[in-house]
Amino acid sequence: MSSPPISTAVVIGTGMMGPGISLVLALGGVSTTLVSRTSEGAARGLESVRVQAAVLLGNQLADAETVSGALARVSASTALEPAAASAGLVIESGPEDLAYKQALFEQLDRVSPPTALLASNTSSLSITQIARGCQYRNRIMTAHFWNPPLLVPLVEIVCGEDTNAPFADDLRRLLAACGKVPVMVRKDRPGQLGNRLQVAMIREAAHMVAEGIATAEDVDLAIQNGLGLRFPAYGLLTHQDNVGLDLTLAVNAYVSPDLYRSPEPPPYLSQLVARGDLGVKTGQGFFDWTQRSAEDAKAKRDQFLIDFLRTQRNRLD
């Protein structure tokens, strides 16, 4: 069983992720309704879509006709059930709260057509648990867009225990047609794929800082100017195959015993949180954010992504 061709979608949530996801779908030709609980939220979400579309246009990542067509396909509403009743795809991008998501998906399961795809943008919660109370669990999955969703190509499609594989393939094909790079996560495990790898790096990075092996500044510099720089063109496992798995095994055998191996989070990270050093929100974390600009850091990130995407676009042209 698979879903009918998807021409209409609903995106729930007008905060950090929803507007960008809506624009991605609209750029792929899907008429999309961005849903908020309030009319003010719906208006803000629609304005965010326009601002993000202007970024694409201003950086030559889409032409005026493409942007204009996409904007015409995005609308905003506070009426969830009527929109979901006629949509081929619903993507939820609300709070990371299991009870909230379970109640919402039970509602969506009741009002949407049984062949409509239902997806959560959760970055951490189990889609199997989210779908537990639903009747048509076979069409429910995770579609985890990475922030900012308009600029980061990756979307992780996570199959729950009851997800029907053809439904997941339907979503993968749609997202690919929308210009994203979807990957299939075939087992519903904590951390999905990308965050699971990222958590492993965070654990070791925090341990290295605590042990005095390197400063937080040098850890980030090593990632930015070494391994992270080549990853877009030369993946981690591709590199291992190229250097030889015999060498990879030897390095692992030598280094692994010295890595942080506790099942608990690294103590240094726990200590930072315990004393209220939460990062940008409190001004102090791994770095002193009274001496740094979080907005500048994000702007540098976004400009790097824009330059990368422009290079990719020019290469295809």
Dihedral angle sign, alpha carbons of residues 206, 207, 208, 209: positive
Q: Has residue 314 got a pLDDT over 90?
A: no
pLDDT for res 207: 97
What pLDDT score was predicted for residue 317? 66
Q: Which residue has the tokens 């995005």?
A: 74
Indicate whether 295 pLDDT > 70: yes
Please give the pLDDT value at position 2: 66
Report pTM: 0.93
Q: Mean pLDDT across the stretch 9-32?
A: 96
Give bridge partners of residue 154 from the DSSP assignment: 181
Please measure the distance between the N-terminal and C-terminal CA atoms of the chain and give it in whole angstroms.
37
Share of the chain above pLDDT 70, in %: 98
Q: What is the dotted CATH code of the domain comprising 8-185?
A: 3.40.50.720
pLDDT of amino acid 1: 61
Helix, strand, coil shares of the chain as percentages rounded to 5? 50, 15, 35
Question: Is residue 312 pLDDT above 90, yes or no?
Answer: no
Torsion sign over Cα 161, 261, 263, 216: negative
The rounded mean pLDDT for the chain is 95
Domain 199-316: homologous superfamily in CATH = N-(1-d-carboxylethyl)-l-norvaline Dehydrogenase; domain 2 (1.10.1040.10)
What does the pLDDT average to over 82-92? 96
Residue 3 has pLDDT above 90, yes or no: no
CA 71 centroid distance within chain = 22
Give the model's pLDDT for residue 5.
Answer: 81
Looking at residues 46-74, what average pLDDT do you find? 96
Domain ranges of the chain: 8-185, 199-316
